[in-house]
Structure 1
Amino acid sequence: MLTPVILSGGAGTRLWPVSREAHPKPFMQLADGQSLLQKTLRRVAVLPRVQRVLTLTNREYFFRTRDEYARIKEARHLSFDYVLEPVGRNTAPAIAMAALRLQALEGPEAVMLVLPADHLINDQARFARAVDLAAEQAREGRLVTFGIRPSYPETGFGYIETSEDLVLAGVEDAASSNTRSASCTVRRFVEKPDFMTATAYLESGRHLWNSGMFCFTAGAYLEALQLHAPAVHEGAVACWEASALEQQPLELNPACFASIPDISVDYAVMEQATDVAVVPGDFGWSDIGSWSAVSELTEADGDGNRVDCETVLVDASNCFIRGNDRLVAAVGVENLVIVDTPDALLVANRDRTQDVKKVVEQLKLLDHEAYRLHRTVHRPWGTYTVLEESGAFKIKRIVVKPGASLSLQMHHHRSEHWVVVSGMARVINGEREILVRKNESTYIPYGTAHRLSNPGVIDLVMIEVQSGEYLGEDDIVRFDDQYGRA
């Protein structure tokens, strides 16, 4: 078997304001309505010999990930396994926990295909051939990475220098059907270069973009980790032994996992190991690492504009515009990126999209919620959307999925008035339990234990009006919760 390991996390700060800490890049929808995470699952679901998918993600993203997967019909034949990280510790510890999980399930010979959840690949057939080649090398005990033939001097990627000229070796594109060699040996990994160095790499015939995708057996990775990064290996094994292994999803022990060194798999293993192979391929790969990369997914009009919403453009050229629910008009502008969301607007020069992460850095310093949350926030039971707020009140639209339930909870500083606009609500309000139907309402005084659930088969939609001296989301005491948050 081949087991895809999907690494799903990271805030994707260069794609703010769509990607945020509570709504990271893998959940970002593209123009076709599918998220990057869903596209990653579809990509691996149709590979041969895949029966199980293992996902490494943060505990906060588990329920959203499960819901996203459930909508991919190509994956309904698969079994799903989850390892939940309490905090982010980079890729080397994450892959170590995945390797320990697969070793326990399938043995040390289990072949792992490690993929970030936020990449895009357009040519499925070539990708599948590259995976086959990598898996062959992995079964022989090698650590395998995937390299992308550079098409321009990119300074935002790391590079892989090979030990031979790719054209002369017949591996210019190992994913194509007419190559003479499956892979080549890695000479070294190179950090992100300046423009002149990247140009030289492009012309050398020996350099590939580092895609961040890998293939190896669980045993080979753990052996290499123990040899080259023993502190990471020791910490991962200790965390594994301290975690409740019988649970699914498997939640890693918070204290143990947080103590593992924070280091990437490139630094910890791949750059240190001697028997590393690279499978070059041209399968339409993109890491979707900036708004410039996202813009390339949309066809340009005659003026070079790429739009993903309703727009009116007057004397505008070479712009990318992505909006939400409202019209965006642009007059007399050029070379701009405009990204509009309900609570934040980004306007940037197209040549400066890598610097969007600096906006997020400033928002964090200001402790502004816009770096972390959208107006619409996903929860295990559904969503809530902040419609309006001031210092004394807040109005939300709450959507509860059929059969779902919020926690039994209480607030110290706010009261709540609920009006059902669609579906039916079952409400615990102090000592009473009542059904609230469409166009009916109920009032929850502050200090009262209460719970909202949806007993029906359609979404429950209601309007909540909060009032009180403090309306922060942290004014909540949970007594009981089916999602483990109490």
Structure 2
Amino acid sequence: MRIPVLLAGGLGTRLWPSSRRSRPKQFLPLADDEASLFSQSLTRLGEIDDLGPAIVIGHDEHRFVIAEQMRAAGHEGRILLEPAARNTAAAVAAAALEARHLHGSQVELLVLPTDHAIADTAALRHAIAQARGAVADGALALFGVVPERAETAYGYIHAGDEIAEGVRRVDGFVEKPDPVRAAHFLAAGDYFWNSGMFVFRAADYLALLSAYAPDIHDGVQAAYKNAVRDIDFLRLESVAFSAVRADSIDYAVMERTDRAVMVTLATAWSDLAGWSAVARANGADARGNTVMGDVWLADSDDCLVRSEDQLVAVLGMRGAIIVETPDAVLVADRSREQDIGRLVADLDAAGRSEAIEHRKAYRPWGSYRQIATGPRYQVKHIRVSPGGRLSLQSHHHRAEHWVVVRGTARVTRDDDVVLLTENQSTYLPLGSVHRLENPGKVDLDLIEVQSGSYLGEDDIVRYDDVYGRTPPPDTDS
């Protein structure tokens, strides 16, 4: 059996302000008008034969958006939660341990990042089939993409002799080259972009990790052994996993073993590491402009302009990146996009919440989005999925008004339970014990107006919660 392992823990700060720590690029529609990169990854799995249920590994902070997008895609699988980001060597080790536990030591893993754009699933399917024989003989296969240009933002694989159809030995790895070396690699014909996608048996990977990086292997094994089941998630034990050294599969294993082979992946591919990569994935008009969302361009060239919330009008710009979100706007020279990560770090150091947080937050029952805030008030749009049920709770410092704009709400307020439909509202005084539920079959949308002396997310007393959450709370509901 082959089990897909979806790596969903990246942060993608170079795609700020769309991508932020609270909701990074893999959960955003960057190469599609509607589907996120993660959702596209799930769809892609459905087009590949002989795959078992996926194992998704991501950060604890993103657990609800992972679960929601999997539910929306109709895809079932295991979700492993990392308490800290420790790169791909540790993440894949945890997934390998889970796969081995579920399916036996000979289970194969198809390791796929979820923040990449892959143009041709058929080409990926063909490459996976070509890797089958080598993997069965104990090799660790990675996919090398035929380069389209002298790219300096990618690592390269130096491919050796062909040992089977489409399968070549790996003669070496090269980190991101300078422009001269990148041009040489493009002309040479035996250098390929390192896609970060792999096929190998769980037992082979774990054995090599134990040999070459025993500290990573043993630390992850301890974290997995003491993992805790939480609703639909498996939480890796925090102390042991956080102590693991951060390293990539390439550094920890692939560059040190003689069992690495490369399978050619003949399709357009991008890891969407920056806005120029997003522009290439989406295409450009005759003047080199890439437009996403509600944008009006006039007399502008070589620009990427993305609007998420409102009209963006651009006049007379050359080589600019302009990205609008509900709470932040980026305007940058396209030649400086490699510095966006540093800009985000500076914003974070200055205490700007926009550096890492989105206004929209996902919860097991749905989501909420901050609309407006000011002294002693806050306005939110709350969406509760069908069957969703918030905790029974009260607040010490705020009262709330709820107005239903779509669907049906079952509201508990102290000893009363009422049903509210569109255009109906209720008032929840400070200190009242209340709960919101969606008993219907469509999403429940309501506007919540909070007023009081303190509106922080930690002002909550939770009495009952179907999702097993306990204080200190991580949500306002």
Query: So what's the TM-score if we normalise by structure 1?
Result: 0.91
- 1:335-484 aligned within 5 A: 335-484=319-468
Task: Work out the CA distance in 2 between the residues paired with 1:301 and 1:275.
Answer: 45
**More moved, 105-114 vs 463-472:** 463-472
Task: Work out the CA distance in 1 between the residues paired with 2:110 and 2:201.
Answer: 9
Instruction: Write the deviation string for residues 404-425 of structure 1: whole angstroms up to 9, x where unpaired.
Output: 0112223232221222222222
Instruction: Write the deviation string for residues 313-353 of structure 1: whole angstroms up to 9, x where unpaired.
Output: 22111111111232221111111111111111111122222
Task: Work out the CA distance in 1 between the residues paired with 2:283 and 2:160.
Answer: 38
Amino acid at match of 2:63: F
Q: Aligned residue for 2:110?
A: 113
Instruction: Write the deviation string for residues 269-309 of structure 1: whole angstroms up to 9, x where unpaired.
Output: 11121211111222111111111111123343232222122
Summarize the Cα distance change of 1:80–1:332 in structure 2 as closer, same or farther, 3 Å threshold: same
Amino acid at match of 2:446: M
- Alignment partner of 1:97 is 2:94: yes
Task: Work out the CA distance in 2 between the residues paired with 1:325 and 1:353.
Answer: 22
Asked whether the 8 Å contact 2:295–2:306 carries over to 1, the reply is no
Instruction: Write the deviation string for residues 246-277 of structure 1: whole angstroms up to 9, x where unpaired.
Output: 98532222222222222211111111212111
Asked whether the 8 Å contact 1:109–1:139 carries over to 2, the reply is no
1:144 to 141, 145, 159: 141
SS at match of 2:282: coil
Q: Aligned residue for 2:473?
A: none
- 1:308-327 aligned within 5 A: 308-327=292-311
Task: Work out the CA distance in 1 between the residues paired with 2:61 and 2:382.
Answer: 19
Q: Aligned residue for 2:475?
A: none
**More moved, 114-123 vs 238-247:** 238-247
Summarize the Cα distance change of 1:374–1:240 in structure 2 as closer, same or farther, 3 Å threshold: closer
Instruction: Write the deviation string for residues 130-168 of structure 1: whole angstroms up to 9, x where unpaired.
Output: 11112321111011111112222222111222235xxxx
2:254 to 262, 266, 270: 270
Task: Work out the CA distance in 1 between the residues paired with 2:463 and 2:141.
Answer: 48
**More moved, 227-236 vs 79-88:** 79-88
Structure 1: unaligned runs, 5 residues or longer: 172-179
The CA RMSD measured in Å over matched residues stands at 2.0
Q: Aligned residue for 1:217?
A: 201
Task: Work out the CA distance in 1 between the residues paired with 2:173 and 2:247.
Answer: 15
SS at match of 1:163: strand
Asked whether the 8 Å contact 1:313–1:331 carries over to 2, the reply is yes
Amino acid at match of 1:278: M
| Percent pairwise identity | 42
Asked whether the 8 Å contact 1:31–1:308 carries over to 2, the reply is no
**More moved, 302-311 vs 239-248:** 239-248
Q: Aligned residue for 1:191?
A: 175
Task: Work out the CA distance in 1 between the residues paired with 2:312 and 2:39.
Answer: 28
Q: Aligned residue for 2:85?
A: 88
Q: Aligned residue for 2:58?
A: 57
Amino acid at match of 1:96: A
State the number of aligned residues: 469
Task: Work out the CA distance in 2 between the residues paired with 1:376 and 1:350.
Answer: 28
Task: Work out the CA distance in 2 between the residues paired with 1:149 and 1:19.
Answer: 28
- Alignment partner of 1:125 is 2:127: no
Structure 2: unaligned runs, 5 residues or longer: 471-477
SS at match of 1:71: helix
- Alignment partner of 1:207 is 2:191: yes
